[in-house]
Structure 1
Amino acid sequence: MPPIIALDYPTLTDATALLARFASSTPLVVKIGMELYYGNGPAALARLQAVHPVQIFLDLKLHDIPHTVERAAFQLGRLGVQLTTAHAAGGLAMLQAANRGLAAGAAEAGLPAPKLLAITQLTSTSQSMLNTQLQIPGSVAASVQHLAAIAQAAGCAGVVASAREVPLIRAVTKPEFLIVTPGIRPTPVADDQVRVTTPAQAKALGANAIVVGRPITQAVDPVAAYDEICRAWLGEKEDS
Structure 2
Amino acid sequence: MELAGERCLIALACRVLAHAGLADSVLGHVSLRAGPDRMLVRCRGPRESGLLFTTAQDVHPVGMDGADVLPGGYTAPVELPIHAETLRRRPEVAAVVHAHPPAIVAAGLAGLPLRPIFGAYDIPAARLALQGVPVYERGVLIRRAELAEEMLAAMGDRPVCALRGHGLVATGATVQQAVVRALNVEELARMTLRANLAGGDLEPLPAEDLAELPDLGSGLNEEAVWRHRVARLELAGLGLPEEA
- TM-score, scaled to structure 2: 0.28
The normalised TM-score by structure 1 is 0.28
